[in-house]
Amino acid sequence: MKKVPGIALIAAAALLSVSCAKKADEGKSSAALTKETVKVGFVYIGNIHDEGYTEAHDQGRLALNEMGIATAYIENVAENADCEKAVRDLIDQGCNVIYTTSFGFMDWTLKVAAEYPNLYFAHCSGYKRADNVSTYFGKVYQARYLSGIAAGKKTDTNKIGYVAAMPIPEVIRGINAFTLGVQSVNPAAIVEVIWTNTWFDPAVEKQAALELLNKGCDVMAQHQDSTAAQIAAQEKGAFAIGYNTPTPTAAPKAYMTAPLFKWATFYVDDVQAILNGTWSSRAYWEGLDKGMVALDDLTANCAEGTAELVDAAKAKIMDGSLYVFTGPLLDQSGTEKVASDVKMTDEEVWNMGWFVKGIIGSVPN
């Protein structure tokens, strides 16, 4: 390794010190933010017209625009150093509030936030926070349970397919909640899972769906960002549960309903807290009762009697008399994981890494 003279090291250290001080100064605000001075930036993993996850987030951004809040966004950002670049680009554009919207953006968000302690950051679906970094998500597993009721009532083969993105707790608890919803109305039904290891790849998603359909599944569910699984279901004369946004026109002969995120609920609340001067770092995780998640309208593709069952379960979830992850809960081997009448804590649900009985497939180590 080439040695650097001592004088050069001193000069380099001084230059680094000035650079860091400059970045810290850039992150400082001399006064509280107002509606006129706040600018909110979004880092998206997909595009704003994906009919799925990113489009749902962008609806939240548009809600801020309707409040008179300036926003900016960068789409199609990979879960690597591209995220860091996107965050810095938004700061260069004058954004003083930054939302990064995918799990793999977490560490990059924390890295940049450490350099700008007086800017506001929040990361979606992650678990690491800092004084100026919150985390946020919705208890979409509640809506997934309701969609499971629709699937369980519809299946004739008692085989339901599930095209799943990444084997992380966010996805695992959703599959479990969906399966428990299915079982609540159809104990004989099974749910078979195929992992795609991608959030958005329509070709891969469709191939996974076709594999499940060819195995005899007659209802498809998904934790993916495109409508490919729904389209595959329609092509095979089967039915589908969507995700993220209402997509009844993507596969009108197949689409039944979808668990939805209402990201505007969080974004409006969070920005308002900044404007009010009451913001503090938090782990935001709310559900049906706060309007953070919902189930889309049921279509005519649903079985007769589905609406009544869904409405009854929704009312119980919202009043607290139905808690999705209440024992007895068994894992795939039949081992009791949660005893009778015991409720899993939020932390246990958040970190869930095992499948309930009735699921075909495995959680990769």
Query: How does pLDDT run across 95-106, given as a tens digit for each residue?
Result: 999 999 999 999
Residue that the structure tokens 């597993």 belong to? 141
Structure tokens belonging to residue 133:
């970094």
SS3 readout for 44-62: CCCCCCCCCHHHHHHHHHH
CB 292 within 8 A of CB 265: yes
pLDDT-based confidence at residue 365 (cuts at 50, 70, 90): confident
pLDDT-based confidence at residue 10 (cuts at 50, 70, 90): very low
Q: Mean of the pLDDT values across residues 305-313?
A: 98
Q: Burial, 297: exposed, middle or buried (Cβ in 10 Å; 0-12, 13-18, 19+)?
A: exposed
The average confidence (pLDDT) of the chain is 92
Structure tokens belonging to residue 291:
């309007």
* Listed residue (260, 221, 256, 239) closest to 51, CA to CA: 260
DSSP one-letter string for 251-268: STTTEEE-EEE-HHHHHH
- The CB-side HSE value for 319 (13 A sphere, CA atoms) comes to 6
According to CATH, where is 3.40.50.2300 located in the chain? 32-138+263-290, 140-258+296-360
The pLDDT, as a whole number, for residue 31 is: 61
Q: Which residues contact 264 (CB under 8 A, 6 or more apart)?
A: 59, 60, 62, 63, 64
CATH number of the 32-138+263-290 domain: 3.40.50.2300
**Per-residue pLDDT at 26 exceeds 60:** no
In degrees and rounded to multiples of 5, residue 248 shows phi and psi of -65, -20
**How confident is the model over 75-86, as pLDDT tens digits?**
999 999 999 999
Q: Burial, 257: exposed, middle or buried (Cβ in 10 Å; 0-12, 13-18, 19+)?
A: buried
Q: Which residues contact 241 (CB under 8 A, 6 or more apart)?
A: 147, 150, 151, 178, 219, 220, 221, 222, 256, 257, 258, 259
The pLDDT, as a whole number, for residue 6 is: 36
User: To the nearest whole percent, how much of the chain has pLDDT over 90?
Assistant: 91
**Per-residue pLDDT at 155 exceeds 50:** yes
Q: Mean of the pLDDT values across residues 4-21?
A: 35
**How confident is the model over 34-56, as pLDDT tens digits?**
999 999 999 999 999 998 999 99
State pTM to two decimals.
0.90
**Per-residue pLDDT at 21 exceeds 60:** no
Q: Does domain 140-258+296-360 have CATH number 3.65.10.10?
A: no
